[in-house]
Amino acid sequence: MTDIINEYFDVLASRLEFVKTTQHDAIRRAARLCADSIADDKLVFTFGTGHGALPAIETFPRTGTIAGFRPIVESSMISFHRVLGDQGARQYRFIHAVEGYGKAILSSHQLLPGDTLILFSHSGINAVILDMALEAQAQGMAVIAVTSLPHSSTTQSRHSSGKRLFEVADVVIDTGVPKADASLRIAGLDAPVGASSTSLTIAVAHAIVSATAEELVKRGIQPFVMVNPNTEHKASATQQNDRNYAELWRRLRGR
C-alpha cells in the first residue's frame, strides 16, 4: 500500500520541479519588473483572495523579504477560515465574485504609474482578481499573474470582460497545478485530498522577492532586507527591521 505521506511530498516535489524548470524565465521577468518599480521609488503590491492571500502576505514584512513590496490584505477576502458568523465562508464566496469590489480595493491604496501588482489566483477567473488586473493596467502598472494554466485555460471567466487572469497579465507564472488542486486518492473516498497550490505559490513569491533583491544589487542598489529577530542578535535585527519599516513609510508618505 502506498504511503500517502510520501506520496504527497513526491507530488509537491514534482510540481516544484516543474515550476523550477519551466517558469525560471517568467520569474526572472517578474523580478525585473519588481526591481524597476522599487528602483524608481515605487511599490510592488501583492494580492490574492482566499488561499491566494497567503503568498501575498509572505512578500513583506517577513524574514528575507525586502522593503518595496506591499501586501494588500482585505479582511473580507481572507477571514473565511471562521466558516460561520462574521466574515465567514459564505460572505467570502459571495464577495470575491462581485464586480467593482476589486476597483474599490485598489482605490484605497493610492497607486502610481510605475508600480507593479502581483496577483495570486489558482483559477484566475473570479471578478475581484480581474477587476484588479484590468484597473491596475489602466493606471499604468505592470501586472504579474501567478496562476494555474491547466485550471484557468479550461475554465470560463466569471468577469464581464470574458478574460481570465493569464490573458490579461504582462507576465504569467504557471504553477502547473491541475484543475482539482488536490491530487491524492484514497480508496473508499470520492474526493481527492492533498492540495498543493498554496505551497507552490508561496515558493514562487519568495523566488520573485529573492530575484528582485539580486536584480537591485546588480543595479548598485542595496535593498532593505528583513532579518530574523528571534536570535541572539535581536537588538541589531530589530534596529535593521525598523529601518526597513521606515523605508516603506517613506515610500508611502509621498503618495
How far, in Å, CA of 31 to CA of 207, rounded? Answer: 9
Which distant-in-sequence residues (6+ apart) come within 8 Å of 48 by Cβ? 54, 55, 56, 77, 119, 120, 121, 129, 201
- Indicate which CATH number applies to the domain containing 109: 3.40.50.10490
Identify the domain containing residue 23 by its residue range.
2-252
pLDDT at position 9: 97
Whether pLDDT at 1 is above 60: no
pLDDT at position 72: 97
Whether pLDDT at 11 is above 90: yes
How far, in Å, CA of 168 to CA of 12, rounded? Answer: 28
Q: If you average pLDDT over residues 56-69, what whole number do you get?
A: 97
Whether pLDDT at 155 is above 90: yes
Compute the residue count for the chain: 255
Q: If you average pLDDT over residues 186-190, what whole number do you get?
A: 94
pLDDT at position 254: 81
pLDDT band at 123 (very low <50, low <70, confident <90, very high): very high
For the chain, the domain total comes to 1
Q: Rounded to two decimals, what is the model's pTM?
A: 0.96
| Residue 90: count of CB within 10 angstroms of its CB | 12
Name the percent of the chain lying above pLDDT 70.
100
